[in-house]
Amino acid sequence: YRIYTMNADGGDVQQVTTRNNSFHPAWSPDGSMIAFDADNNQNGWQELWVLDLATGIETLVAQLSPESDLWANGWSPNNEYITATSISFVTIGGQLYWTRALGVAYLSTGGFPTTLGNDSEPDLDWRPDWFTSDKESPTSMMVPLPEYSDYANTRVGWSGDDGGGVGVDYYTVQYRIQPATAWTEWELPAGSTAATFPGQAGDTVSFRVRARDAYYNWEKWHTVPDTSTTLVNWVFTGQLRDNRGAPLAGVDLILTPDSFVPVSTDAEGRFVGPMATNAPQSLAAELPNFQSIPATVVQTNPFISYLPPADNLVQAGGFEQDEMWWDHWQVSDAGVVTATSDVWQTGAQAVRLGEACNYPCLGDQENLTGLQPETVELEVDSHSVLHMLSVANGDLRYRYRTPEGVWSTPIVLVEDLNPYYPDLFIDENDVLHVAFASNDGGGEAVFYTSFDGSWAPLQQAGNDAEGRLRGFDVLADGSIHILYQNHTEHVPMYVQRLPDGQWLPPQRFMSALTWDVASMYVSEDGMRHFFYTKGSGPSRQLMYRTLDPAGVWSTGVEPLPNNWGDQQVPMLLLESNNGELHLITINHMLEVYHFWRRFDGVWQAPTQLEDVFWSRPPKLVEDKLGAIHAVYVPDWFNGSYSIAMQRWTRMQGWTPRIVVDNNAYPASSAAMGKDGVLHIAWNDNNIPSYTTVAPAGFSRVATLAQPLFIPTEVTSPTLAFTTLLAQDVIGDGTEFSVIVASDSYSETTTIQPAGNTWQHEWIDLASFVGEGVTVTFQLTQQSTDPALVVFLDQVSLGSAYPDLSAQLFMPPSVTPGEGFSVDITVQNHGMIMAEQVVLTYTLPSPMTFITATMPPVQQGNTLVWNLSNLPAESLPVEITLELMVPISLTQGLAVNHNLVVTTTSAEGNLGNNLAAFEQFIVFRMFLPLLRSLAGPGVG
C-alpha cells in the first residue's frame, strides 16, 4: 500500500509515499506535511512517519519494539505534534490479541512521546484526536503611513491581537502599486512585524495584512487597503505670498523638476509638491500681475516665496550673476558690499553688506559674582535678554543679563531639591519654561515651572527620574513635552502636559528593557521624534521612532544607512531653522560622531569629531547663517578640564577645536539669540564666567542704492525685500536702515531683527508716486558693537493688490422637494483694500431661493450682494441661504452652483474669485433592517 493525493474532482492523482504498507494519512494544519504509519523494515509492525510535501522527504518519527504498532491519527492545532495510537499485541495459540492501547503525541521531529487520554483507564484509548476550543480568528492592523514616504526608507509596520487567547503566530502582508488591482504577496521573514519596502519614487503603494494564530485560525483578508502612501524622493513644501506678505490662495504652480501631482496653494498660500528628484528648484505661478522667482537651489523646507509684482521697477533685485547687478546698483565700498553665494533666499546669490570678524570672534572673559555652578543653562529671548540657570549647592538659581550687559542679582529658584542639569526653553511669547530631574534623597522626580511675569508654583511632571532630561520642548499651542530616563529600569519615559495645563501620566517609551538612552525633538505639527538605542555592547543599534499627535506610535526603524548607526548612543539632537536634523552620538569606543539629515530627508555620511566629549553632552546652537556651534568640555586634557568650541557649515564641515578656557570645571552652556549673537557661560576654576561676541573695533557706513521713478500707474507702490541680519543687537547704535529720498522729501525705516531665518519686509511708498526717488540700503556700524552683517535679496518696487476669495458649502446631494442650506464665505486676503466689492451667485435654474441672512438683490436665478469696500486682511463675510429643490426635478440630474466676487480695484490673483459646486439630485430609498438572532455559525 502507498499514499496518494488527488484533486477534489478526482484528477491529478500523485503517489507521495514510498514506504511499505503506508496507512492512516493525516494532513498537517498548515498543509506542508502528511503524517502516516508504515512497515518500512517489513517486520510486520507499523512505524510512525512524516512526509515533507515540498521536498518529498519521508522521515521516521518513532518506532516501537516488536509486537507493537504506531498508527498515525492527526495533528495538534499548532502544527507541532502528531497524534497516534500505540498498540501492544500478544500471540496466544497462534492468534494475535491486543493487550494495551495508548493515545500518544510525538513532535513531528521525533523524540519521546507524550501520553494522552483517560488517566483512570490508560490502556484503553484508541484513535486520539486533538482540537482547540479557540475557533476565533485573530485581527491585525498596519501602522498608518503618511501621505508621502521616502522611497529609499519606507518602513512598513503591522501588529495583531488574538481574542481566542493562543496568540498571533504569523502574518501575511500583500501590496499593490497603482494602477494595479491585483495584490502581490510580500516575501518576508517569518515572524517579522516591520520591513522596509523596496519601491520606486512615484509609486503609490497600498498594503494589507492578515494574521494567523498558533492554532491556524486565519483572519480574512481586508477588502480595502489598510494603509497607502506615495513614494517620493522628497516633498517640496512652502508658501506663496505677494510683495506685502499676504498669502496667495488657489494658485496653480509649475514646479521644475515636476511634481507627481498637480500643485496649487491652499487658503493660506501653502503648497505640497511630492518630487521624484531633488534638484535646483524653480517655482512659477501663472499670475498675470506677478513675476516668477528664478530657479533656486532651495535651502529650507518649507520654502516661503514672495512674488515680485509684474510692474517691478527695481533692476537686478535678485543680485544674480546673469543680471549683472553691479551695473544697476550704486555701491559705497565694493569690499564691504558684495554679492555672495554663501546664503540666498531665491536664485543662487544674495548681496552682503558688512563683514564679520574671524571665528570665533569672542570678547574678553567676564567673571560673575555668585556660587560656583555645577551646571549651567542659557537661552535668549526676543528682546536679546540672556537668561541663565545654574545649579550650586543643591539649589537651582536664576539670573539674567540685559542687552546693555548688566547682570541681575541671582535668586534661588528651587531650594534643596538637588536638581540635575535643568533645561530652559523660551517660547514665542517670551515665557520661560524650566524642567529638571531631581533627587532630594526621598526619591527621584521630574519637575516643571514657568515664568511669565512671576514664577509659577513647582509642578511634578514625572517620577522615578534618573540623571538629566533627554528632551524638553514647548510648542506654540502651549503643550509641553519632556523625555527623561527612568531610574528603576533605565528606560526612557515620555510625559506631556496638554495646552489646558493637564499632565498626562508618564508612558514608557517602549516595552522591552533592551532599549536605552534616547533623545527627542517635537515639530510644530505635534509630531514627536525620538532617537534611541536598542541592544547593548557591540550589538547596540541607533533607532528612530515617532509618536503622532493622535497618540499612535510608529514602528521603530534604523534611520541611518549602511549600519552607520551601529553602537551609537544619541547624546544630543538639534532641529535647525531650515528643517535639517543634527545628531551627536558617542559609541562604545567613546568616539563622538556628527550625523545630519538634510531638509529633504537624506542622511549624510557621519563625521567623527577630533576630540572625545566628556560624559556630559555638548550644547549645540545655530546661527542665522545656518552654521552649527558646539560648546563642550573635552575629556581630561593636559591635566585639567577645558571649555572648547567648534563650528560646522555645510560647505566646510567642522573647524578645528578652539579652546575658550584651559582651566575649567566640566560645566558649560551656550545660547544664540534671534539677533545672531553667541553667548557662552562656564565654571572657570569655581568662578562663574561668561563671554560673548567681541566688539567690531571699527566704525563704518556701507550703502547700496538705486535711483528709480515711480509712475502714477503703479497702484499702492510697495518696496519689498528679504533680509537676514546677523549679530544685530537690539537697542545698540549699529543698525540696518532703508532710506527712500526724492528731491523734496525722504523717509528712513530701521529694520529690526525678527526670527532666525530670512525675514520679509515691505514699505509703503504711496507718498512718492509720480516722483523720482533713490532707494538706499544702509548699514551703520559702531566700533563698540558686534560686527553686523546684512544679507539682502528679492528687492522689488511695484504695485500691491487686494486678493478676494469666494467659497461655497452645501450638501453634495439633495432630493426633489427638499430644502437645504448654502454657506457662502467671502474674504480679502490681501494687504490692500478692495473697493466696491460685488458678490454674484447664480442658482441652477430649477432651484428656488427662500431666504438669506444678508438679503440680496434677486434678478431671476441670480442673487447679487453689494459689499462696498473690504479692508485689508478682512474678516470673512459669511452668508447663509435657504434654497428649495422643486418636487418635479428629475432624479439623477447634476446641477451647477456658481459664485463670483469682483472689485473695481486691480487684483493680482483672480484664481480664487470663482467658486463652483456640482450637486446631484437623488432619490433616497429606505429599506428595512433585518437582524438575525442566530449565533455565529448558525444557519
User: Across the chain, what does the average pLDDT equal?
Assistant: 88
The pLDDT of residue 167: 82
As a whole number, mean pLDDT of residues 666-691 equals: 88
Tell me if residue 323 falls in helix, strand or coil: helix
Choose between 379 and 260: higher pLDDT: 379
Q: What CA–CA distance (Å, rounded) separates 343 from 350?
A: 7
Q: Which of 722, 710, 693, 705 is nearest to 623 (CA)?
A: 693
Cell numbers for 38 = 508504515
What dihedral angle (degrees, nearest 10) is formed by the CA atoms of 285, 286, 290, 295? 40
pLDDT digits (tens, 9 = 90+) for 814-860: 999 999 999 999 999 999 999 999 999 999 988 999 999 999 999 99
Contacts with 32 (C-beta within 8 Å, 6 or more apart), sequence order: 52, 53, 54, 79
Mean pLDDT of 29-49: 93
pLDDT at residue 563 greater than cutoff 80: no
* pLDDT the model gives residue 934: 39
- What pLDDT shows up at residue 120? 63
More confident residue, 797 or 166: 797
- Give the pLDDT confidence score for residue 186 in this predicted structure: 94
Asked, as a colleague might, if the bond just before 618 is cis with ω within 30 of 0, I would say: no
537 SS3 class: helix
Reading the block at residue 610, the C-alpha cell is 577630533
674 or 15: whose pLDDT is higher? 15
The one-character DSSP state at 167 is: -
Question: Among candidates 34, 116, 29, which has minimal Cα distance to 78?
Answer: 29
pLDDT at 939 over 50: no
Query: Strands 914-921, 813-814: parallel, antiparallel or unpaired by DSSP?
Result: parallel
Per-residue pLDDT, 96: 87
Confidence of residue 129 (pLDDT cuts 50, 70, 90): confident
Closest CA to 724 of 400, 295, 346: 346
Q: How far is CA 911 from CA 810, 856, 919, in A?
A: 21, 24, 22
Written as one letter, the residue type at 640 is S
Q: How far apart are CA 228 and CA 206, in angstroms?
A: 4
More reliable by pLDDT, 819 or 580: 819
pLDDT confidence of residue 739? 98
Residue 596, by phi and psi: left (phi above 0), alpha (psi -120 to 50) or beta? beta
**Cell numbers at 354, concatenated:** 558688512
Give the model confidence (pLDDT) of 176-200 as tens digits: 999 988 999 998 887 788 888 988 9
Q: Around 375, how many Cα atoms within 13 Å sit in the side-chain half-sphere?
A: 21
Mean pLDDT of 642-647: 88
Intra-chain end-to-end CA distance of the chain, in Å: 41
Cα–Cα distance measured from residue 578 to residue 248, given in angstroms and rounded to the nearest whole number: 22
Q: What is the pLDDT of residue 767?
A: 96
* Cβ-based burial of 324 (10 A; exposed 0-12, middle 13-18, buried ≥19): exposed
pLDDT, residue 935, reads 38
CA dihedral 246, 252, 256, 258 (to 10 degrees): 140
Residue (of 139, 118, 3, 11) closest to 72 by Cα position: 3
Distance separating alpha carbons of residues 880 and 882, to the nearest angstrom:
7
State the Cα–Cα distance between residues 30 and 52, nearest whole angstrom.
12
pLDDT of residue 615: 55
pLDDT at position 540 over 80: no
Is the per-residue pLDDT at 637 higher than 90? no
Residue 938's pLDDT band (cuts 50, 70, 90): very low
**pLDDT, tens digit, 9 for 90 and up, residues 861-916:** 999 999 999 999 999 999 999 999 998 887 788 999 999 999 999 998 998 999 99
Residue with C-alpha cell 549647592?
Answer: 393
Whole-prediction pTM: 0.77
Report whether the peptide linkage leading into residue 302 is cis, meaning its omega lies within 30 degrees of zero: yes
pLDDT the model gives residue 398: 96
Find the angle CA(557)-CA(559)-CA(565) to the nearest 5 degrees. Answer: 110
Distance CA 78, CA 72 (A): 17
CA atoms within 13 A on the CB side of 139: 4
Confidence class for position 566, pLDDT limits 50, 70, 90: low
Residue 601 has pLDDT above 80, yes or no: no
Q: Is the dihedral of CA 146, 151, 155, 157 positive or negative?
A: positive
Q: Is pLDDT larger for residue 806 or for residue 489?
A: 806
Q: In what order do the strands lie in the sheet with 68-75?
A: 68-75, 81-92, 95-107, 114-116
| Sequential DSSP letters for 29-98 | TTSSEEEEEE-TT-SS--EEEEEETTT--EEEEE---SSEEEEEEEE-TTSSEEEEEEEEEEEETTEEEE
Q: What is the pLDDT of residue 635?
A: 66
Confidence at residue 73, expressed as pLDDT on a 0 to 100 scale: 94
pLDDT at 937: 36
Residue 611 DSSP one-character state: S
For residue 159, pLDDT over 50 is answered with: yes
- Residues 6 or more apart from 263 whose CB is under 8 A from it? 252, 253, 255, 271, 272, 273
C-alpha cell at 127: 484513535
Phi/psi of residue 790, nearest 5 degrees: -120, 135
β-bridge partners, 449: 434
* pLDDT category of residue 747 using cuts at 50, 70 and 90: very high
Higher pLDDT, 891 or 497: 497
The predicted pLDDT at position 512 comes to 47
Closest CA to 411 of 427, 392, 425, 429: 392
Percentage of the chain surpassing pLDDT 70? 93
- Kindly report which listed range (21-25, 149-153, 365-369) carries the lowest average pLDDT score: 149-153
Average of pLDDT values for 375-393?
93
Compute the average pLDDT of residues 58-76: 93
Q: How far is CA 425 from CA 334, 385, 471, in A?
A: 41, 13, 11
Q: Specify burial of residue 894 (Cβ count, 10 A radius: 0-12, 13-18, 19+).
A: exposed
List the Cα angle 529/532/537 in 5-degree steps: 170
DSSP state of 315: S
Q: Spell out the domains of the chain, with CATH numbers in brackets.
A: 4-116 (2.120.10.30), 139-232 (2.60.40.10), 233-307 (2.60.40.1120), 700-798 (2.60.120.260), 804-921 (2.60.40.290)
Long-range contacts of 141-146 (CB under 8 A, 24+ apart): 141/209, 141/226, 142/207, 142/208, 142/209, 142/226, 142/227, 143/194, 143/227, 143/552, 143/554, 143/555, 144/227, 144/552, 145/207, 145/227, 145/228, 145/229, 146/229
Q: Cα(801)–Cα(818) distance, rounded to whole angstroms?
A: 42
pLDDT at 616: 65
Classify strands 330-331 and 700-709 as parallel, antiparallel or unpaired: antiparallel
Q: Which three cell numbers stand for residue 790?
A: 546684512
- Residue 513 binned pLDDT confidence (cut-offs 50, 70, 90): very low
Q: For residues 707 and 314, what is the distance between their CA atoms, to the nearest angstrom? A: 9
Q: Tell me the Ramachandran region of residue 443: left when phi exceeds 0, alpha when psi lies from -120 to 50, beta otherwise.
A: left
Among 559-573, 577-591, 648-662, whose mean pLDDT is lowest? 559-573
The upper half-sphere exposure of residue 882, i.e. CA atoms within 13 Å in the direction of its Cβ, equals: 6
Judge residue 680's burial from the number of C-beta atoms within 10 Å of its C-beta, 0-12 exposed, 13-18 middle, 19 or more buried: buried
